[in-house]
Amino acid sequence: MTILNVEHLLDQSAVLMNRPRGGPHRQADLRRAISTAYYAVFHTVLTAMADRVVGRGRRATPHYALAYRGLDHRTLSGFCTLAARASLPSKYSGLSPDGGFNNDVRRFARSVFELQQERHRADYDPAWRIKPSEATALIRLARDSIGLWTGAPGDQREAFLMLLLFPPR
């Protein structure tokens, strides 16, 4: 299985921000740029999740593909809403890092939620219009979010992934 390179997705978002032949930005390009930037973040989580559950060295296997495709947008969004809080609900105690998630993971979770909301508007709201400066800011948010994720301590990332995949009941 070939994993999407998130840097390539972010690069594609930047390419879409170019104005056609010096004319005005096209809404289709701005919307696609936002959607692609969100998918860079989404695939960052999918890769981390499948690497953790199946193993990075098994990326070419059907089990890896199964794990990679096992997360949907709604589940990620719902968990990010929880993970962005200063403290998690009591049923997560003992399963989350001491003191809950750190600031970077909480900021990452807020960013994922925001980017997903904007991606949804870009993909599905026919009346929505976005300015190039707003699209650029969302692309930067996606890039910064990936940096927050990769820079987070391993125990924070692991707890985030395990609780995302296996929420306590």
Domain chopping of the chain, boundaries: 6-165
- pLDDT tens per residue, range 90-110: 888 888 887 789 999 999 999
* Cα 115 to Cα 6: distance, rounded to the nearest angstrom: 15
**Burial group, residue 126, by CB count within 10 angstroms (0-12, 13-18, 19+):** exposed
Rounded CA separation 162/167 (Å): 8
Within 13 A of 92's CA, how many CA atoms are on the CB side? 21
Listed residue (168, 169, 166, 157) closest to 44, CA to CA: 157
pLDDT digits (tens, 9 = 90+) for 144-168: 999 999 999 999 999 999 999 999 9
**How much is the pLDDT for 97?**
84
Can you tell me the distance from the alpha carbon of 118 to that of 130, in angstroms, rounded to the nearest whole number? 10
